[in-house]
Amino acid sequence: MARVPSLLQASQRAAESPTDTELAARVATGDSAAFTTIMQRHNRLLFRTARSILRSDAEAEDALQDAYLRAWRAIDGFRSEAKLSTWLARIVINESLARLRSGRRACLEALDAADAAAQLPQDDDADRQPEGMAMRAEARRLLEASIDRLPEGFRSVFILRAVEEMSVEDVAAVLDLPAVTVRTRLFRARLMLRHHLSRDMNPALGDAFSFAGERCHRMVQRVLGATGRPGGEVPAAAEAFSA
């Protein structure tokens, strides 16, 4: 019963939350708070859209900033029959493509493993351990590197459809493509990703579930202790095992 008030409050907040169309109308009157809400709602989608083209966190952020400024100045041109997210995404895409054409590309930034791990969902205690966090960060790095290697048209489709989970129709509208092309590119992008990930992960398979170094030495000592041998006296066979 204690959860009922919170559920009712959440429902009331949802009902009171303005739509994108209402927010756009407020922005057109100079309401900066409404524009702040719009940015908070669509930041992730629009950043990922820019990055799918530019393949650089820093450059994508710059493109997104400039796109927001363009949107602020052009909000009067937004028509309520369209989705605001689609309208904004088109502005971001145009800004990103302009940067490509002008050659203003930033170098790819290395992922901060600690930051990447902190942003990943953590389902259990194992994920919170240093080894688990490092493995998840590495898996994310491999996936993002594989997505970056996709051809531009396929990369944008994959980001919007598979990562952002936009509908095929919305992706088609944002990228100005036929729906059948979106489906075809998504299918081919998935095949290319499988190939990239398989190629990148195969060399690491030999190191999977490693049991060397300190872990191996600790096991040797435990066994020697259980057999009554002094901990410091490691037989030659055990030494070879722990090498």
Taking CA 173 as the corner, what is the angle to CA 43 and CA 142, rounded to the nearest 5 degrees?
A: 55
> Does some domain include residue 2?
no
Q: Tell me the Ramachandran region of residue 36: left when phi exceeds 0, alpha when psi lies from -120 to 50, beta otherwise.
A: alpha
> Per-residue pLDDT for 89 more than 80?
yes
Instruction: Say whether both 185 and 236 belong to one domain.
Output: no
> Does some domain include residue 1?
no
> Does some domain include residue 185?
yes
State which of 74, 102, 130 marks the end of a domain.
102
Instruction: Say whether both 86 and 118 belong to one domain.
Output: no
Say what the pLDDT of residue 194 is.
87
Residue 6: band (very low, low, confident or very high) from pLDDT cuts 50, 70, 90 = low
> Per-residue pLDDT for 213 more than 90?
no
Q: Can you give the length of the chain in residues?
A: 243
Instruction: Say whether both 196 and 217 belong to one domain.
Output: no
Total domains in the fold of the chain: 3
CA distance 196 to 162: 17
Least confident residue range of 79-93, 112-126, 156-170:
112-126
Residue 187: band (very low, low, confident or very high) from pLDDT cuts 50, 70, 90 = very high
Helical axes 84-102 vs 57-74, angle rounded to 10°: 120
Judge contact between 46 and 64, C-beta under 8 A.
Answer: yes
> Does some domain include residue 8?
no
| Average pLDDT over every residue of 2-23 | 66
Instruction: Say whether both 192 and 226 belong to one domain.
Output: no
Residue 146: band (very low, low, confident or very high) from pLDDT cuts 50, 70, 90 = confident
Instruction: Say whether both 188 and 163 belong to one domain.
Output: yes
State which of 40, 67, 102 marks the end of a domain.
102
- What residue numbers bound the domain in which 219 lies? 213-242
State which of 48, 72, 102 marks the end of a domain.
102
What average pLDDT is seen over the chain?
Answer: 76
Residue 71's nearest CA partner among 28, 21, 128 is: 28
Taking CA 62 as the corner, what is the angle to CA 58 and CA 68, rounded to the nearest 5 degrees?
A: 140
Instruction: Say whether both 237 and 199 belong to one domain.
Output: no
SS3 content of the chain, % helix, strand, coil (to 5): 75, 0, 25
Say what the pLDDT of residue 204 is.
59
CA distance 147 to 189: 9
Instruction: Say whether both 235 and 197 belong to one domain.
Output: no
> Per-residue pLDDT for 73 more than 60?
yes
Least confident residue range of 33-37, 112-116, 135-139, 202-206:
112-116
> Per-residue pLDDT for 102 more than 60?
yes
Instruction: Say whether both 18 and 48 belong to one domain.
Output: yes
CATH of the domain at 83: 1.10.1740.10
Which residues 6+ apart lie within 8 Å of 25 measured at CB? none
Residue 222: band (very low, low, confident or very high) from pLDDT cuts 50, 70, 90 = confident
Instruction: Say whether both 54 and 38 belong to one domain.
Output: yes
> Per-residue pLDDT for 78 more than 80?
yes
Residue 137: band (very low, low, confident or very high) from pLDDT cuts 50, 70, 90 = confident
> Per-residue pLDDT for 115 more than 50?
no
Instruction: Say whether both 69 and 152 belong to one domain.
Output: no
CATH of the domain at 194: 1.10.10.10
> Does some domain include residue 107?
no
